[in-house]
Amino acid sequence: MRIRLPGLYIALGLVLAGLIHIVAVLALPMLAPKNGYARLASLGPTNTMIQIPPAAPGQQAMPMMAPDIRYAFCRFDLTKGPVRLTSKLADDLFVIALYTRDGDNFYSLTGADMKRPDIDLIITTTDQTVEEAGVDSPESADSDIIVSSPVKEGIALLRQPLAGPSRTSYAEKALAAATCAPYAKSG
Amino acid sequence: MRSLIYFVATFVAALILGIGSAWYMIERGSPLTTTKVGPWDGWISAGNPNADFYTRAHVARSGRLPLTSTVARYFVARTDDDGGLLSSDCEYLVVGGALNARWWSLALYDEYGGLIANPSSRYSYNSEEMLRHSDGTFHVTLSRNARPENWLPSGETDQHLVLMLRAYGLRETDSSGIGIIPNDRLPKIERKSCG
């Protein structure tokens, strides 16, 4: 067969290249073997607050971690009910951020948003109510922040940027006091 | 026979073009997804649940969990102002001024995002500890050997370097609440000498 239309091959090539481009972009998040979620998830069990050691050469839970931020995280699992996070604020630089498996930061709260020196946050799925899980009294419910999560499993990442080298131990202590646990019915 | 060769050649060209363009737009960004100012790249929607597919793929590949861009912005530089790759073999002067942010930090990494071992355990300077001149500007030297003022050690091994500027609580935002750093505020990266 004679090639009468080299332009046809160019057009075919471009269409094919476009399709391959789209497939590659859509498939990549699934093919990426170790996204941030997977890296942290392997460090410990669910519904437990885990402090990440300060970033140092050869000792980083994720690439490009900040050496001057202290981190702690909790991989929350809401299949058995809501999960409660508590933490002390070292200062207004504190940030708590909730992520899906894909790394979508669907909720964040900074120390500057808070009027009180401690955070008490309950994560639920959209079909769970905290009342069902048993809030003791309306007053305590008022003081809690309730976040409805689009996913059953995700990560809460706590960041405490250091406001100067002298603040390091203070920041580490504040994060060490953070907790994460299933929100228990209390009597 | 000839048409088969044309077919195969077309397919191979399409594969290279398709995957190459996808790789470039995910790894380095494009005007659709990133702010490019001099050597600095900032992904506009990083961490945002409504982000486009390129940004999501970039975040997944990076292995990081960035804060959504309404809370913090990240800018990465792999080159100096003239476009040369940052290298531990050279000495650079980074000059910047005040950023309108609650807290910011300039950190140096190897090309894989790992911190670089050095005797003084110095990996970054943040807004609270940076030494500044009386006019508010700061000078940071990236180099192998100790330098006065703010020195970020680039390590003993020959390697490419990556600078990251992270800014928390930017006071200036666009209409969707994404933090903005005016273009002329991002630090300049000047190569001083090599070898």
Asked if residue A187 belongs to a domain, the reply is no
Segments forming the whole domain that contains residue A111: 36-182
Provide, as residue numbers in chain B, all residues whose Cβ is less than 8 Å from the Cβ of A9: 6-7, 9-10
Beta bridge partners of B36: B41
Please, which pLDDT band fits residue A187 given cuts at 50, 70 and 90? very low
Gap from A43 CA to chain B (nearest CA, Å)? 14
Q: How confident is the model at residue A84 (pLDDT cuts 50, 70, 90)?
A: very high
A63–B112 CB contact, under 8 Å = yes
Task: Pick the more confident residue, B127 or B7.
Answer: B127
Residues A1 and A74 in one domain: no
Give CA–CA dist B29/B34, Å, rounded. Answer: 6
Please check whether residues A84 and A167 belong to one and the same domain.
Answer: yes
Parallel/antiparallel/unpaired status of strands A83-88 and A118-125: antiparallel
Separation between Cα atoms, residue B97 and residue B99, nearest integer Å? 6
Give the span between the Cα atoms of B91 and B49, in whole angstroms: 39
Q: DSSP code of A55?
A: P
A97-153 pLDDT, tens per residue? 999 998 999 999 998 888 788 889 999 998 776 655 555 544 454 457 899 999 999
Q: Are residues A118 and A75 in the same domain?
A: yes
Residues B180, B172 contacting (CB under 8 angstroms): yes
CB B93 within 8 A of CB B193: no
Alpha helices, H only, B30-160:
53-62
Residue A2 has pLDDT above 70, yes or no: no
Of A68, A82, A79, the residue nearest A160 (C-alpha): A68
Interface test with A, best of B65, B68, B105, B161 (most A CBs within 10 A): B65
Give the pLDDT mean for B92-105: 94
Count of structural domains within chain A: 2
* Chain B residues in contact with A24 (beta carbon < 8 A): 18-19, 22-23
pLDDT surpasses 60 at B157:
yes
Strand-pairing partners, residue A108, are A97
Going by pLDDT thresholds of 50, 70 and 90, the confidence category of residue A1 is low
Given a contact cutoff of 8 angstroms between Cβ atoms, the answer to whether B118 and B107 are in contact is: no
Would the CA dihedral through B83, B86, B91, B96 be positive or negative? positive
CB B153 within 8 A of CB B120: yes
**What percent of chain B stands above pLDDT 90?**
85
Same domain, A83 and A16: no
The pLDDT of B109-135, averaged and rounded, is: 94
Does the domain formed by B32-194 have CATH 2.60.120.600?
A: yes
Closest residue by Cα to residue B98 from B25, B182, B194 = B182
* Predicted confidence (pLDDT) per residue in A30-41, tens digit: 777 789 999 999
Residues A45 and A136 in one domain: yes
pLDDT band of residue A91 (cuts 50, 70, 90) is confident
pLDDT at B121: 92
Tokens of B172: 């200036």
User: Does one domain contain both A98 and A169?
Assistant: yes
Task: For an interface test with B, give the residue of A9, A25, A30 to mutate (most B CBs within 10 A).
Answer: A25
pLDDT single digits (tens) B8-17:
999 999 999 9
Q: Tell me what ipTM this predicted complex has.
A: 0.90
Distant-in-sequence, close-in-space partners of A10: CB < 8 Å, separation ≥ 6: B10
Mutate to test the interface with A, among B115, B122, B124 (most CBs of A within 10 A): B115
Paired residues of B42 in beta bridges: B35
Reported as a single tens digit per residue, the pLDDT across B52-93 is 999 999 999 999 999 999 999 999 999 999 999 999 999 999
Query: Residue ranges per domain, chain B?
Result: 1-30, 32-194
pTM for the model = 0.90
Q: Does B124 touch chain A (CB under 8 A)?
A: yes
Per-residue burial over A8-26, b if 16 or more Cβ lie within 10 Å, else e, is ebeebbeebbeebbeebbe
Counted across chains A and B, CB pairs separated by less than 8 A come out at 189
The CATH number linked to A97 is 2.60.40
Q: How many CA atoms lie within 13 Å of A86's alpha carbon, on the beta-carbon side?
A: 9
Same domain, A137 and A59: yes
Closest CA of chain B from A185, distance in Å: 32
- Is the pLDDT at B164 greater than 90, yes or no? yes
| First-last CA distance in chain B | 54
Say which residue, B33 or A143, is predicted with more confidence: B33
The verdict on A66 and A15 lying in the same domain is no
Q: According to the model, what pLDDT value does residue A7 have?
A: 83
Give yes or no: residues A3 and A56 share one domain. Answer: no
Percent of chain A with pLDDT over 90: 59
By Cβ distance, the residue of B62, B116, B126 closest to A68 is B126
> Do A129 and A65 fall within a single domain?
yes
Residue A166 lies in a domain: yes
A98 plus A137 within the same structural domain: yes
Same domain assignment for residues A100 and A150: yes
Q: Provide the pLDDT confidence category of residue A96 given band limits of 50, 70 and 90.
A: very high
Distance from CA of B29 to the nearest CA of A (A): 12
Set of chain A residues whose Cβ sits within 8 Å of the Cβ of B7? 9
